[in-house]
Amino acid sequence: MSGPQDSAAPEERDSGSAVTSDADSQATADGAAADAQAGGDTAPEPETNTAAAASGDADPEPSDGAAKGRPKRRQRSFWRELPILIAVALLLAVVIKTYAIQAFWIPSGSMENTLEINDRVLVNKIVYHTRDIHRGDIVVFNGDGSWDPGTIPVNGNIFQQFAEGFASMFGFGHPGDILIKRVIGIPGDRVACCDAEGRVTVNGVPLNEQSYLYPGSAPSLSRFNIVVPRGRLWVMGDNRFYSDDSRDHQNDPGGGTIPESAVIGRAFIIIWPLSRWRILPIPATFEQPAPNGSHAAAASAGGAQPAGGAQPAGADLLSARAEPTGQAIPLALGFAGAIPLTWVQRQVRRRLATRRRRGPRH
């Protein structure tokens, strides 16, 4: 009798302990649910997710709050990057304007019809660091000290040039008397006018200039005969009737020539108005073999005065000034270059930060 009773007792105790354990678990769950509801609907994450995150087998899924916070982090990052973008763009704009390309506005008609009033041209400042100035180039130069009172401009070192470019970018500094003309004679050339047909000659070789002279304009109404000194240039406008150029400054220092050091760069393209857009090439008359005729032949060249006689009394001569334009073009080029540079440095910085978080690989 005692055996069956003894064997049933442990069974009853086991069943009782199991019932007690389930009840306790239910009570604990109810209490946790109540606490969660009282504390703001924040329930603990399942143990499986915690274990997986601890073991590194799976990344925990971001909460809704983290997902909502991501756009804010991107927005904050953009505003952090904006000052860097602006600084890089301004730096590039100054560099481009000082050393590479600058836009100029044409306010006069002494280079017509090649350049008309209100044309905007781009000037290449790099080209004369790679080659010499050629006959036929249209050059922008500073007339101070040669045609106008002042000191002949001298290019400083790159830091001085950058400081001047930075100052002019914001309206400071002295830009000088900036002019634009076509190069007719380079150092050592004998430039004269006129031969028997009324043409300008270079080293005794006549120039056929009809392709770029103003329609009906004679090559020159005044006579001259000069050997261009070393380091200087003889320049003339394409509208010879109304161009104040080397011919009209023969009594100035240099005999009307300008120093090569005063040249800012070569005008190579008209960018505005769009209807006038075109490249400014060297005319074909200057592409023939270089005029290397003897100076004796050039000195003896001289024909009759061209029809039309002397310069009309009281004619207004235009000096073909080239006014620097606003800062829109260098700034646009600066931002165009700054955007990819800023994007690259941002990507590099992110990759470096990711590698630091991951730590060294073993």
Could you list the active site residues?
A: 110, 181
The whole-angstrom distance between residue 13's C-alpha and the CA centroid of its chain comes to: 90
Q: Report H helices in the chain.
A: 2-39, 47-55, 64-95, 127-130, 158-169, 295-300, 328-358
Closest residue by Cα to residue 317 from 242, 255, 250, 264: 242
DSSP calls for 107-124: -SSTTTTTS-TT-EEEEE
330 to each of 57, 92, 166, 334, 336, how far by Cα in Å?
Answer: 53, 8, 12, 6, 10
Q: What is the DSSP letter of 282?
A: P
- The token duo for 361 is 């690989």
Closest residue by Cα to residue 228 from 200, 251, 256: 256
**What angle do the packed helices 328-358 and 64-95 form, to 10 degrees?**
140
Contacts of 183 (CB under 8 A, 6+ apart): 133, 134, 135, 136, 137, 138, 139, 233, 234, 235
Quickly tell me which residue has 């100076």 as its tokens: 295
